[in-house]
Amino acid sequence: MSVTANTPSVSAAATMPIGTPRHHIAIFAGLLVLLLIAPFVLYPVFIMKILCFALFASALNLLLGFGGLLSFGHAAFFGSASYVTAHAAKVWGLTPEVAILLGTIAAAFLGLIIGALAIRRQGIYFAMVTLAFAQMVFFFALQAPFTGGEDGIQAVPRGSLFGMISLANDTTLYFVVLAIVFGGLLAIYRIIHSPFGQVLKAIRDNEPRSISLGYKVNRYKLAVFVMSATLAGLAGSTKALVFQLASLTDVYWTMSGEVVLMTLLGGMGTIFGPLVGAAVIVTMQNYFASFGAWVTVLQGTIFVVSVMLFREGIIGVLSRWIRKPL
Amino acid sequence: MSSPDIILSARKLTKRFSGFTAVNGVDLDVERGTIHALIGPNGAGKTTCFNLLTKFLQPSAGNISFNGRDITGLAPAAIARLGVVRSFQISAVFPRMSVLENVRIALQRRRGDSFDFWRNQKVLNAYDEEARERVEEVGLTEFIGETAGELSYGRKRALEIATTLALEPEMLLLDEPMAGMAQEDVSRISALIRRIAAKRTILMVEHNLSVVADLSDKITVLARGEVLAEGPYEAVSKDPRVIEAYIGAGHG
């Protein structure tokens, strides 16, 4: 009897060559140039929205695409951070960088609690536990006195960066947001390409084998969960300042679903997929807003088509074509 | 009476699943530097026994010791850190990583835990040369850059052995290393196992009796969760109880 491998072919995106590939540096540089020009061509608030969601989706992708853990409750981190930042800026009158920092820390702390409980389960049960916790956070946000209930926290002051640079101007704020998001994306890139990231990929690929090599997999899973929650929180905090609003939408389960959709559409387990996914979805929501509820139908259709035709996502397919990890 | 040098030993090892005793009071002594095989008809409890020894299952009763130290209460990752590394029935590679990365992930264990998420993975390049040597040892050099998931079955098993050896384990537990393997691969892996056994202790579960006869110093036969016979192949294969258990269970 002859034996042949019957493993499905794996996208080139999944195999990371050793060292930093040149084309990644080139893409990051090109992206930065485009984003530096963008606010003078397009509406800055629109691009800032894309940037926030790009960071949010990349944070989820760190957990899903590289840790192999599907969280269906990431809105909890995004939304909580958004509330904390809004509250800190509006009620406590703190400067934006401190407000963002507090929101991010809150998300990290929440990630530690939810993560510690969720990683005890695997697969769909893990997803369900994260969803359940996210719903608890949602009801807390609905009932708690300082979240403003159905109204949310509105008219959040953008304040002055370090108490010196006013962020009231959209373009000024844009460059701050760009710095935050780009920094976040580079941090994720580094995490993926660190010794920690290597172990993470090994656990994603084969958990029992990683254990048999002596890795304490639960600690790695918890670590990546907290990192992902923290970065999702950073995105949520930044978003609260951009829109001067923290609302129930940010913690609702549809937000968790949307960010999963962005990641899958762009290509999970790729570096640049979540950015593309976020750009596509946010653009659709913005430009097709006049279709009302039909946007949701359109989103659903795109999702079905992408799952049926290109399961690896836009960047996943592209990466296979050019035979380079993206 | 000179007592043999026992590296791994189990006493009264028992595992009950709801209402069913898969392993019942098994005593096992593996002598240092030998190849010890665990055989038995289907359902004899070999794999359960194996999972108990590596702590992937928690025993219902009994204890296990390694180098004289009680390891019954340890977690599987801790057992691996002590130097007892197992393989799996289904080839256990990291399918989306390259052949080199597969071996390197084992070498990386020497750094201790790798929680340094802020550091560039270039620090791991320090292990590349050794990883290449390990890959060459099992004859996979021409596939070193390939994604492990795309290798043939036999090559995946060879890669798995290279990865296991990279940990420099004192003891290897191989779960059916030849399962589903083509004949030419069987002889290649057999030769590899014999080569690595020179410096190590091996306990393996194997169905292929010619491999067992060829490789092992000592055989323990399990049937219905209990030890039926033990000894060198010549003695065990002539034991009427063993013959009966095999024929009775439908084996030729």
Q: Chain A closest CA to B216's CA: distance in Å?
A: 24
Q: State the pLDDT at residue A4.
A: 37
Instruction: Give the C-alpha separation, A4 to B202, whole Å.
Output: 27
Contact A263, A309 (CB under 8 A): no
pLDDT of residue B158: 86
Position A38: which residue type?
A
Question: What's the rounded Cα separation, in Å, for the pair A58 and A189?
Answer: 9
CA–CA min distance A207, chain B (Å): 9
Burial A68-94 (b: 16+ CB within 10 A, else e): bbbbbbbbbbbbbbbbbbbbbbbeeeb
A18 confidence band (pLDDT: 50, 70, 90): low
- What does the pLDDT look like over A99-119, one tens digit per residue? 999 999 999 999 999 999 999
Better-predicted residue by pLDDT, A81 or A122: A81
A186 touches chain B (CB under 8 A): no
| In chain A, domain spans | 43-252
Q: Residue A216: which of B77, B117, B163 has the nearest Cβ?
A: B77
Q: How many angstroms from the chain centroid is the CA of residue A277?
A: 11
Instruction: Please give the distance of CA A264 from its chain centroid, rounded to a whole number.
Output: 12
* CA distance, residue A281 to nearest chain B CA (Å): 28
Report the distance separating Cα A84 and Cα A233, nearest Å: 10
At residue A95, does pLDDT exceed 60? Answer: yes
**Tokens, residue A271:** 């570096």
What pLDDT was estimated at residue A250?
A: 94
Residue of B nearest to A193 (CA): B121
Chain A contact present for B153, CB below 8 A: yes
At residue A60, does pLDDT exceed 60? yes
Give the model's pLDDT for residue A163.
84
Q: Do the Cβ atoms of B94 and A205 come within 8 Å?
A: yes
Whether the CB of B191 is below 8 Å from some CB of chain A: the reply is no
Selecting from B119, B149, B163 the residue whose C-beta is nearest the C-beta of A10 gives B149
Q: Say yes or no: B88 contacts chain A, CB-CB below 8 A.
A: yes
State residue B72 phi and psi, 5-degree precision.
-55, -35
* Beta-sheet pairing, B35-39 with B201-205: parallel
Work out the average pLDDT over B173-190: 82
- The contacts of residue A183 (CB under 8 Å, 6+ apart) are none
pLDDT in tens, B41-74: 888 888 899 899 988 899 999 999 999 999 999 9
- Residue A7: what pLDDT? 37
State whether ipTM is beyond 0.90: no
Smallest Cβ distance to A14: which of B56, B96, B109?
B96
Contact yes or no for B109 and A202 at CB 8 A: no
What is the rounded distance in angstroms from the CA atom of residue A269 to the CA atom of residue A253?
22
Q: What confidence category does residue A3 fall into, taking pLDDT thresholds of 50, 70 and 90?
A: very low
CB A172 within 8 A of CB B45: no
Distance CA A14, CA A319 (A): 9
**How many Å lie between the alpha carbon of B108 and the closest alpha carbon of chain A?**
8
List pLDDT tens digits, range A235-274.
999 999 999 999 999 999 999 999 999 999 999 999 999 9
- Comparing CB atoms, the residue among A198, A208, A220 nearest residue B105 is A198
**DSSP symbol at B206:** -
Q: What is the mean pLDDT of residues A281-300?
A: 83
Residue B248: pLDDT above 80?
A: no
Instruction: Choose among A248, A200, A239: nearest CA to A69.
Output: A200
| Band of residue A308 on the pLDDT scale cut at 50, 70, 90 | confident
CA B5 to chain centre: 20
Q: All domains of chain B, ordered by start, with CATH?
A: 6-94+169-248 (3.40.50.300)
Q: Is residue B2 over pLDDT 80?
A: no
What is the band of B11 on the pLDDT scale with cuts at 50, 70, 90?
A: very high
Residue B106 pLDDT greater than 70, yes or no: yes
Q: Do B167 and A199 touch (CB under 8 A)?
A: no
Interface check for B86 against chain A (CB to CB < 8 A): the answer is yes
- Give me chain A's average pLDDT, please: 90
Q: Which residues of A touch B94 (CB under 8 A)?
A: 201-202, 205-206, 209
Closest chain B residue to the Cα of A14, Cα to Cα: B96
pLDDT tens digits along A158-215: 988 998 888 889 999 999 999 999 999 999 999 999 999 999 999 999 999 999 999 9
Asked whether the beta carbons of A326 and A192 are under 8 A apart, the reply is no
Best A4, A6, A7, A312 member to test B by mutation, with max B CBs in 10 Å, is: A7
Mean pLDDT value of segment A116-144:
93
Preferred mutation among A24, A206, A227, A312 to probe B, highest tally of B CBs within 10 A:
A206
Question: Would you list the DSSP string of A9-20?
Answer: P--GGGPPPSS-
Band of residue A6 on the pLDDT scale cut at 50, 70, 90: very low
The verdict on B90 touching A (C-beta cutoff 8 Å) is no
